[in-house]
Amino acid sequence: MTAGKAFPIAVKAVVIDLDGTLLHTAPDLAEAASRMAAELGLPPIGLDEIKTYIGNGVSRLVKRVLTRDMDAEPDAELFARALPVYEKHYAEGVSRESRPFPGVVEGLQALKQAGYRVACITNKAEKFTLPLLKDTGLFDFFELILSGDTLPKKKPDPLPLLHACERFGISPGQLLLIGDSLNDAQAARAAGCHVFCVPYGYNRGRSVEELDVDAVVPSLLEASKRIVKA
């Protein structure tokens, strides 16, 4: 964690990660993985293991479920069969159990009332992102939503953050990213943005205290108190 940062930080826009930051989506992701594993005759997989696999999009999640490894590549034919099975099950229950984390709605309300530009940037595919935000009542808080397949590259690449800066007409130093993982920290540092992380999300089972971030905040509401309108 970066030391010596003076608070509050002056920014004009706040972009927020989805899985593990805005919404507790792991139960629905895990349920889809369990159903996929059963349909393919694979060993069962639990929620705690699934949490460590979240953050790099559905394709990588499926590969991790197939290999039970963070970086291994499964058999290509198996993956080609598995991905549509997973997507089918996830689409059927994308928001069945997913809910905002404590402080999320209050934090979004505070950000909007203070006049910040607010965006959601996720590695989740748009076909899952939009229904999920609408079903959980968060969609209308965001004037910009960038999914994992909106642009040619996704986090940890800085492109989505730089795209948001361009869209909002601001410099990277006027943008804050709030996330929950190494992906978010790396994307923000590469883009030159400020970054906070929440400790309750899905950082591959590792503590966010280890990450290069400006602050670890317990909630979005608390994050809104660490910034001021530039």
Per-residue pLDDT of the chain (230 residues; tens, 9 = 90+): 655 578 999 999 999 999 999 999 999 999 999 999 999 999 999 899 989 999 888 999 999 999 999 999 999 999 999 999 999 999 999 999 999 999 999 999 999 999 999 999 999 999 999 999 999 999 999 999 999 999 999 999 999 999 999 999 999 999 999 999 999 999 999 999 999 999 999 998 899 999 999 999 999 999 999 999 99
**Could you give phi then psi for residue 15, rounded to 5 degrees?**
-115, 140
Residues in the chain, overall count: 230
Residues 6+ apart with CB under 8 A from 74: 63, 66, 67, 82
**Both tokens assigned to 122:** 């996720």
For domain 26-92, the CATH architecture is: Orthogonal Bundle (1.10)
Of 59, 76, 65, 74, whose CA–CA distance to 36 is shortest? 65
CATH fold of the domain at 9-24+99-229? Rossmann fold (3.40.50)
**Both tokens assigned to 85:** 């099975």
Q: Per residue in 75-95, is it b (16+ CB within 10 Å) or e — as a string?
A: eeeeeeebbebbbebbeeebb
Whether residue 17 lies in the annotated active site: yes
Q: Whole-model pTM above 0.85?
A: yes
Nearest-angstrom CA–CA distance, 12 and 118: 9
9-24+99-229 and 26-92 agree in CATH topology: no
Degrees, nearest 5: CA angle 127-128-133:
115
Q: Of 17, 28, 180, 184, which one is the catalytic site residue?
A: 17
Cβ contact 182:19 at 8 Å: no
- Domain positions in the chain are 9-24+99-229, 26-92
